Every structure is written in C-alpha cells, then in structure tokens.
Amino acid sequence: MRMVLEIAAAPLFAVALFATGILAAVAHLVALPGLYLWEKYQEAKPLQNRRPGGPLP
C-alpha cells in the first residue's frame, strides 16, 4: 500500500515543482524590466544631496 501511495504522489510532486518554476519565470519577467526602468529613473534624477553654492564633495 505504501508503494502505491508513493507512486501516486510522484506526479503531484512533479506538478508542484513545475508550477514553482513557472511562477519563478513569471516573477523574473516582471522584475527584470521593472529593475531596468528603475535604474533609468535613478540615472535621470539629479543629485539632491549637494547644497547650492557649497563646496563640491
């Protein structure tokens, strides 16, 4: 009986691993363009930590 349960659980385990991989791929598809746009936004922003008329750091 134990062997039957192990055989029956193997496809469920495989489906769970596949679903986890698909979720990770979707997360990367969302995150990578977002990180690229965030980097472009940070580069376009002027530096705000300098005081006007003060000495250069």
State how far the Cα of 47 lies from the Cα of 57, in Å rounded to an integer.
12
pLDDT of residue 19 exceeding 80, the answer is yes
The sign of the CA dihedral 48, 50, 56, 57 is negative
Kindly state the average pLDDT of the residues 1-18.
Answer: 88
Tell me, yes or no, if the pTM score tops 0.75.
Answer: no
Q: Which residue has the higher pLDDT, 20 or 2?
A: 20
Kindly state the average pLDDT of the residues 4-22.
Answer: 90
* Chain segment 22-56, per-residue pLDDT in tens: 999 999 999 999 999 999 999 998 776 655 555 65
